[in-house]
Amino acid sequence: MKKWGVMAIMSCALLVAGTFFQSVLSNEALAETKTLKIGLIASVTGPLAPAFLTNLEGAKPTAEFINQRGGITIKGQKYNIEVVAEDDQSTPPGAVTAMNKLMQAGVKFVVPPMFMPCDMAIAPIAEGAKILRMKSYGAGRDELNPDTKFMFYEYTSVYNVHVVHDYMKAKYPKVKKIAVITPDDPGAKTFQDLTKKEIEKQGTEIAFWEAFRPSTEDFYPILTKALEKKPDAIDIIVSIPPWSAGIINQSRELGFKGPVFAPCLFGDINVVKSMVQPDYAYDLFHGGPDVQSPAMPQMIKDFRPVVEKFTKTPYDMGHTITMEAVYCLAKAIEKAQSLDPEQVAKTLESMKTVDTVFGPAKMGGMDMFGINHAVLRQIVISRIMKGKVETEFPK
């Protein structure tokens, strides 16, 4: 009887222990299945859709990339990331509609539209609702200033202007006169103001300046007038591939042989190279990465096969733009150990080191924007020479 009594007690103990461990395992499994939704507002339809297609395509690969690495953990609870995309229809009213949909879905963290007028349209709503936005490749002071308490830049190329002009002076010391041909876009205003100051500071001269309409495809009339001033270089400042390639091809056709550059961006450098006539693919550079380069940080290289799993589109900077912003935002949330946007904002402002896909960065922006909301990471310069893309990391 004693033997059977001991066995009964042991059986009960094992049953209790099994139930306990099953409960623990169930709770862990439950923790792993929790989801943090991060919104993405992009141009799915409308005239801007082709330019921002790869930003949208980066949404699902971004979530998978972060989740493959364990997602994030907040106070012992694991979260997987889900990127919820909404269409701004290439218009400010469409962006407002998209923002409202995300808010109705309970989303508190958003990667805002790349197109500045759309971004500015959602700002009052997002600020009022305390929605934290993390934008990659921010455009300037109209978007980010002391009144935008919940707006952050994961990267802003306004800091490129000085670095890229220094690069040009070192590589092309004979450049004395510059023709500036830049889009008439509110997103370019801060860049344009900084460019004027930088050209004067460098001791060079603005030989010609014209802002073209975003719908422009025929640059010959503008370029003809510009080349009459005999510039040594053409500065586009900030652009997208159709404009960049149009200015490069057409200026070369008209006989211009000097450097063409954009301190901020041409757009993805490999897309631009594919659109430029091979004989014209020399002395072209901008302040942006070649994400296909073997010189890229490991995370940029690791992201490529994840993107290629979801899309047949060639891997380009647009895919990484989404990943850069979401990754940085997710890491900031984890650092704050909170899903409260106010707490995350305070944490970001105080972080000495910020984790980005380009490596450790620092928080800054007070000098440029009057608020410490800009992540300052490594500036990358890409240059096309003899039809090939070169990558440099200026100090």
In order of their start, the domains of the chain are 32-157+295-376 (3.40.50.2300), 159-292+381-392 (3.40.50.2300)
Average pLDDT over the chain reads 90
User: pLDDT of 27-63, one tens digit each?
Assistant: 544 446 699 999 999 999 998 888 888 999 999 999 9
pTM: 0.86
Question: In terms of pLDDT, which residue wins out, 214 or 299?
Answer: 299
pLDDT, residue 48, reads 86
> What is the mean predicted confidence (pLDDT) over 159-170?
94
pLDDT, residue 18, reads 52
User: What is the Cα 23 distance to its own chain's centre?
Assistant: 42
pLDDT, residue 258, reads 97
HEC string for 245-280:
HHHHHHHHHCCCCCCEEECCECCCHHHHHHHCCHHH
* Residue 1, pLDDT above cutoff 50: no
> What is the mean predicted confidence (pLDDT) over 109-116?
93
Number of Cβ within 10 Å of residue 190's Cβ equals 25
How far, in Å, CA of 110 to CA of 59, rounded? 12
Question: In terms of pLDDT, which residue wins out, 156 or 6?
Answer: 156
* Residue 387, pLDDT above cutoff 80: yes
Single out the residue of 200, 269, 206, 213 nearest to residue 235, CA to CA: 206
* Residue 295, pLDDT above cutoff 70: yes
User: What is the Cα 196 distance to its own chain's centre?
Assistant: 25
pLDDT, residue 90, reads 93
| Window from 3-12, 117-126, 136-145 with minimum mean pLDDT | 3-12
